[in-house]
Amino acid sequence: MAIDATQPYDDENIFAKILRDEIPNKTVYEDEHALAFHDINPQAPHHILVIPKGRYVSWDDFSANGSDGEIAGFVRAVGHVAREAGMVEPGYRLLANIGKDGHQEVPHLHVHIFAGKPLGPMLMRG
């Protein structure tokens, strides 16, 4: 179910549990600002999620309330993960779903990285 992007942070969300090592994940990369791991239900041959370590519900929350260091560290981590995975050539797609119309399901900011085949048009029409 899609969440409300303005809701308060829920420490029991599944990505908070992953950050606390309470449930397993297939880690791709980790540093002080970010954790990257394989999506449990991949929508492309390569589907990685990158999340900030801080308690941010959504891109809206993070871009408004994250520190400059957290934001720079997170953005650099996303680029690093894609580069290290060899995605720059032939290319990849980033996606962040925000709130109900964005169909965000997990209330901890995450950026999806998709790659591994031609990904087609940006959105389904209609």
Per-residue 3-state assignment (H helix, E strand, C coil) for 66-123? CCHHHHHHHHHHHHHHHHHCCCCCCCCEEECCCCCCCCCCCCCCCEEEEECCCCCCCC
Options 9, 10, 13, 14; binder of ligand AMP; rule CB under 6 A: 14
> What Å distances lie between residue 38 and 20, 30, 44, CA to CA?
17, 12, 11
Q: How far is the CB of 95 from ligand AMP (least distance, A)?
A: 7
Options 28, 39, 44, 116; binder of ligand AMP; rule CB under 6 A: 39
Tell me which stretch binds ligand AMP (CB under 6 A): 35-43, 51-59, 66-74, 118-126. Answer: 35-43
In whole angstroms, what is the distance from residue 114 CA to residue 38 CA?
10
Per CB under 6 A, contacts with ligand AMP among 58-117 are 97, 103-106
Options 1, 12, 32, 41; binder of ligand AMP; rule CB under 6 A: 41
Q: How far is the CB of 64 from ligand AMP (least distance, A)?
A: 19
